[in-house]
Structure 1
């Protein structure tokens, strides 16, 4: 049974020391899934909705970065054992984006994997999504972020029927407490792109225009 954070600011603490089961070393998966908007009779008259999953992250040594499909397009990514703009699973930052669902056709959406071996080296993450192309049709997405830790209940943050005309949404914040625990917080705040979200949450990056084409 999943634990749903229903209101902005709601939190849930995941204690990794209290996990049960046989897969306690399995990866932590942050999943974004949504209704692709191209099913059914009426769906034939609508273009598919393409959301992109990304994250800001900060390490305990003070280093910061962000990972999303625009950043690691054009061959700037790699496999989970390489340190690239797609992240790295087996060494710092212990965070790896599984790849861009460019067409919005994947059944399971997009995923970011976090290595449990690195949870005490990571300080915080903000999980975000944005609409790469087209109008802001959030109400049609039914988007949900799930934080799945093997041996614990999955934590869900649902976007709900949002009507904002801004195309960038910070959905959840993950605070890594340094004691083998993670606190998940519901955000669901809307912004005019990466830089606007950056200013709202104090990351301090500089931005230039990018493209996946």
Structure 2
């Protein structure tokens, strides 16, 4: 049986609590938080990735053109489609996991490794958002099995291989079963980066700790693997075609 064989893909009902009125932002100065001390180390931890294009990329060329040619403002507006650089920004949410029994693997859209919340690895990806919609991409971590979890690295990568972190405002938000949501903003200008390690969730002694990483790399999952010493074997993967 292969490393990722046997991942169940059954539907699961999740509860995520109500943390809409309060938030904690993890920064360089305040890089980690204990879910155990917050009383939030149980239930389903919801992890959401959302992003939008930077406004300077959407309208920058038009503003420069009007400064040079002010009379163009009198012309009827043209209907212009999104540029190729805007359409192809496809950020994906993933998670490298290591359990207490030594098993390791990945949960990600690439290759269809969507995981399982009620069985190992206790991490499940709900779907794949390829267009940066308002809901973004969501992953669930079942902290009722926290004693089975050693460490989880939540990461974001660009599927189409075109560096685009400098053209997007991306955020990863964690919604515990109780208490405030936890936010990590990926606002650093990293024009050549293709992947980013966002947060590490690990068991430290008897606590579940969330630590901000925000480490951008030029490569993909294999480079994140080497950086954090996961030791997996990687090959090229593909997504399924989009259902229209």
TM-score tier by shorter-chain length is 0.7 to 0.9
Partner of 1:111: helix, strand, or coil?
A: strand
Under a length normalisation based on structure 1, what TM-score does the superposition of the two structures give?
Answer: 0.81
Count residues with an aligned counterpart: 195
CA RMSD of superposed structures (Å): 2.6
CA distance in 2, matches of 1:86, 1:122: 17
Q: Paired residue for 1:33?
A: 50
Compared CA separation, residues 134 and 207, structure 1 to 2 (3 A): closer
Partner of 2:52: helix, strand, or coil?
A: coil
1:160 aligns with 2:200: no
The 8 Å contact of residues 175 and 182 in structure 2, kept in 1 or not, is answered as yes
Larger Rg, first or second structure (1 or 2): 2
The 8 Å contact of residues 5 and 156 in structure 1, kept in 2 or not, is answered as yes
Which residue, 126, 135, 138 being the options, matches 1:111? 138
Which residue, 33, 36, 39 being the options, matches 1:18? 39
Compared CA separation, residues 200 and 152, structure 1 to 2 (3 A): same
Q: Which has the higher helix share?
A: 2
CA offsets 1:19-69 (integer angstroms, 9 cap, x no match): 5xxxx965210111111569x963834523210000100111111111111
Deviates further, 137-146 or 122-131: 137-146
The 8 Å contact of residues 51 and 132 in structure 2, kept in 1 or not, is answered as no
Q: 5+ unaligned residues in a row in structure 1: which ranges?
A: 73-84
CA offsets 1:139-197 (integer angstroms, 9 cap, x no match): 23211111110211111111113224021111111113463x42111111122111111
Q: Paired residue for 1:79?
A: none
Q: Paired residue for 1:44?
A: 82
Q: 5+ unaligned residues in a row in structure 2: which ranges?
A: 1-21, 60-80
Partner of 1:195: helix, strand, or coil?
A: helix
CA distance in 1, matches of 2:167, 2:34: 30
Q: CA deviation at 1:116?
A: 2.7
Q: Paired residue for 2:111?
A: 71
